[in-house]
């Protein structure tokens, strides 16, 4: 099994040997059987809720696909990414947790790592595009009115190409996917940064282009939106009813986008911190029992978005004149 592991130079191995190249089985669980069973049940519940929720969002959107706004098209793409994580990735980890070891060897490990990174990167870049769309729509009306449906589809093609490129780069020999220290899941090989300068360059590139830069764009966009809304609230009150209604809808979409981004980042930031520490901190300084918690938290990110959609929809409908009647008509229009 170790013969199929990613190759490292002899000098690198003399300096640092990652956990998956040591003598013990890299795919054997380092957790207790009870902990694995609890994690397996947790992921099963997360997977079912995520699949049903995101599947429902995609199904309902498909019924009105010709009426979807650009921001809503992006939201559907986000649901597709979340559904992909649930359908393609979670069954592998659920089976492995219940089996008390990773059951799919190095090929399955690399596939699982690729799929998780591909859909996760796709989710974050989609949210980055949504934040820019909201920024242009709220802060620069001339650009916002220029954005049309076909621009959204062009943006989707760019998102999938971007995620495909960065998820596939490790297969070009500049990186790899490897088992997590606890053995029953796989991820990017963050430990390459401990072995060589090339590994450090790979990890830093991934962190910048697939986490730090998109997150900076999201934060910038929503800070500017908040400042703009505070300065323009009084102005909107003097507009006619049609403009007020359009403004309310745009703000509703913005609230959805902000909550989605916040939920995603809160779920993934602990995992990112642990990964960075594994890459650049003292070797093997992250306790195995501690490393599994951020991983499980990150896997729950795909479940939050359908809940956010429903909560915002209910609040939006109930705050309109007519209350429940308005809610009923809103559902029909969707």
The reported pLDDT for the residue numbered 15 is 66
| DSSP output for 260-317 | HHHHHHHHHHHHHHHHHHHHHSSTT-S-HHHHHHHHHHHHTHHHHHHHHHHHHHHHHH
The number of distinct structural domains making up the chain is 1
Query: How many other C-beta atoms are found inside a 10 Å radius of the C-beta of residue 193?
Result: 23
CA distance 275 to 209: 15
CA distance 302 to 206: 21
In CATH, what number is assigned to the domain containing residue 99? 1.20.1070.10
Q: Which residues of the chain have pLDDT under 70?
A: 1-15, 143-146, 232-250, 310-334
The reported pLDDT for the residue numbered 256 is 77
The reported pLDDT for the residue numbered 112 is 95
Asked, for residue 258, whether it belongs to a domain, the answer is: yes
Asked, for residue 4, whether it belongs to a domain, the answer is: no
CA distance 97 to 38: 9
Asked, for residue 92, whether it belongs to a domain, the answer is: yes
Asked, for residue 324, whether it belongs to a domain, the answer is: no
In angstroms, the Cα distances linking 319 to 69, 237, 242, 248, 314 are 22, 16, 17, 11, 8
Return the SS3 of 69. coil
Asked, for residue 204, whether it belongs to a domain, the answer is: yes
pTM of this structure: 0.83
Structural domain for 78, as ranges: 26-234+247-316
Asked, for residue 175, whether it belongs to a domain, the answer is: yes
Asked, for residue 11, whether it belongs to a domain, the answer is: no
Asked, for residue 16, whether it belongs to a domain, the answer is: no
The reported pLDDT for the residue numbered 121 is 95
């Amino acid at each position: 099994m170790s013969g199929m592991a990613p190759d490292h130079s002899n000098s690198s191995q003399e300096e640092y040997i990652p956990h998956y190249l040591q003598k013990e089985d890299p795919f054997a669980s380092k957790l207790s059987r009870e902990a694995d069973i609890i994690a397996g049940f947790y992921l099963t519940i997360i997977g079912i809720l995520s699949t049903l929720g995101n599947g429902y969002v995609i199904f309902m959107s498909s019924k009105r696909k010709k009426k979807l706004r650009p921001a809503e098209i992006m939201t559907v793409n986000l649901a597709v990414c979340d559904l992909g994580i649930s359908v393609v990735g979670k069954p592998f980890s659920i089976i492995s947790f219940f089996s008390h070891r990773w059951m799919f060897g190095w090929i399955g490990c690399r596939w699982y790592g690729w799929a998780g990174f591909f859909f996760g990167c796709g989710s974050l870049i989609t949210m980055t595009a949504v934040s820019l769309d909201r920024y242009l729509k709220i802060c620069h009306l001339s650009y916002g009115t220029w954005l049309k449906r076909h621009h959204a589809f062009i943006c989707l093609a760019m998102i999938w190409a971007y995620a495909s490129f960065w998820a596939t780069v490790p297969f070009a020999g500049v990186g790899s996917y490897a088992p997590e220290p606890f053995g029953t899941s796989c991820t990017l090989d963050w430990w390459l940064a401990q072995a060589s300068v090339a590994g450090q360059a790979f990890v830093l590139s991934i962190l910048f282009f697939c986490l730090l830069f998109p997150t900076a764009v999201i934060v910038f966009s929503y800070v500017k939106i908040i400042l703009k809304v505070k300065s323009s609230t009084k102005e909107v009150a003097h507009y006619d009813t049609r403009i007020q209604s359009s403004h309310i809808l745009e703000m509703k979409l913005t609230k959805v986008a902000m909550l989605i981004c916040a939920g995603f980042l809160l779920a993934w930031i602990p995992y990112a911190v642990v990964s960075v520490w594994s890459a650049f901190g003292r070797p093997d300084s992250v306790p195995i029992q501690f490393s599994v918690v951020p991983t499980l938290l990150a896997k729950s990110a795909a479940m939050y978005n359908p809940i956010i959609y429903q909560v915002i929809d209910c609040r939006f409908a109930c705050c309109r004149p007519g209350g429940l009647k308005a809610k009923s008509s809103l559902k029909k229009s969707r």
